[in-house]
Amino acid sequence: MPGMPELSQETERGRAVLPFGTAEVTGPSMVPTLHHGDLLVVQYGARVRPGDVVVLRHPFQQDLLVVKRAAERREGGWWVLGDNTYAGGDSTDYGTVPEELVLGKVRFRYRPRKKGQRSPFALARWLLSAARPVLSGRSASRRFRAR
């Protein structure tokens, strides 16, 4: 499905050994929180709360890993939403995600430097924003209430 962040399968390989793994975001559905090309540190088995950014298996295409924000727990699992209301590819399309398909919580985001960032100003901007923890947010919950 276009527009849905797909995560690299490397995430799954490290899961058995360590509770943490890495993933790379593709797609715009979590903008402005996450962007195409962002690298993520994922904690598997972490307790998920509303507002957390999570990695899950797509309910209809379980070989596809996606990243969304857990909006609320419902009967049957989690209602998940992308932060970009125009991208789609979330529970408004496929409904509640069963608990067992939610693999982990995103803890940290690293934004690689773009090739055109050569000036001292661009480099300083990148240094200030490249690495950040991914905290629980309210953008999805506000969007959820607005529907």
Which residue in 60, 61, 93, 62 sits closest to 79, CA to CA? 93
Residue 20 has φ and ψ, to the nearest 5°, of -115, 150
Which residue in 38, 36, 58 sits closest to 106, CA to CA? 38
Residue 65 forms part of a structural domain: yes
Q: What is the CATH number of the domain that holds 99?
A: 2.10.109.10
Instruction: Please count the helices (runs of H) and the strands (runs of E) in the chain.
Output: 4, 7
Residue 142 forms part of a structural domain: no
Residue 76 forms part of a structural domain: yes
Q: Are strands 20-24 and 102-110 parallel, antiparallel or unpaired?
A: unpaired
Residue 143 forms part of a structural domain: no
Residue 99 forms part of a structural domain: yes
Residue 29 forms part of a structural domain: yes
* Tens digits of residue pLDDT in 119-138: 888 888 777 778 888 888 75
Residue 107 forms part of a structural domain: yes
Confidence grade of residue 7 (pLDDT, cut at 50, 70, 90): low
* Tens digits of residue pLDDT in 30-72: 999 999 999 999 999 999 999 999 999 999 998 999 999 999 9
Of 6-15, 17-26, 48-57, which has the strongest mean pLDDT? 48-57
How many structural domains compose the chain?
A: 1
- Note down the domain range covering 115: 20-133
Residue 147 forms part of a structural domain: no
Helical (H) or strand (E) element with 123: helix 120-129
pLDDT score, position 3: 44
State whether the Cα torsion 66-69-71-72 is positive or negative: positive
